[in-house]
């Protein structure tokens, strides 16, 4: 019985250390610009931009896969300009800004 308890405690300790190391080395840094751009987009999720919904388009803009905000035909000009200004002036986790156009 004591051996089983010791084995379980040892396994728990080893797994705890492995989880701690995984948190240090496998963490994916989130880019808050995606959330901000999603909030600016109309939210129609029509797919007209060629991406899977507004979240897909926001991800594409922030990842550099898309560079033209006008791909969203639902946005009005004011919103497009706000998104361009935001992305061109707001640095990401790597401290670099994007180059997107209308
Ligand atoms: S075209 Fe605009 S509204 Fe439609 S899914 Fe793309 S970003 Fe969203």
Q: pLDDT tens track of the chain, all 102 residues? A: 999 999 999 999 999 999 999 999 998 888 999 999 999 999 999 999 999 999 999 999 999 999 999 999 999 999 999 999 999 999 999 899 999 999
Structural class in CATH, domain 32-89: mainly alpha
How many angstroms does the Cα of residue 73 sit away from the middle of ligand 1? 7
Ligand 1 mutation target, pool 41, 66, 71, most atoms within 8 A of CB: 41
Would you list the domain boundaries of the chain? 1-29, 32-89
Cβ partners under 8 Å of residue 42, min gap 6:
54, 72, 74, 75, 79
CA distances (Å), origin 26, targets 11, 21, 49: 21, 8, 32
CB 50 less than 6 A from any atom of ligand 1: no
């Amino acid at each position: 019985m004591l051996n089983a308890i010791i084995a379980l405690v040892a396994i728990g300790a080893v797994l705890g250390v492995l989880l701690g190391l995984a948190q240090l080395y496998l963490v994916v840094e989130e880019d808050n610009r995606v959330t901000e751009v999603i909030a600016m987009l109309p939210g129609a999720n029509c797919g007209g931009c060629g991406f899977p919904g507004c979240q897909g388009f926001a991800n594409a803009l922030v990842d550099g896969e898309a560079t033209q905000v006008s791909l969203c035909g639902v946005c009005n000009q004011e919103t497009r300009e706000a998104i361009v200004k935001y992305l061109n002036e707001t640095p990401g986790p790597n401290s670099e800004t994007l180059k997107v156009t209308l």
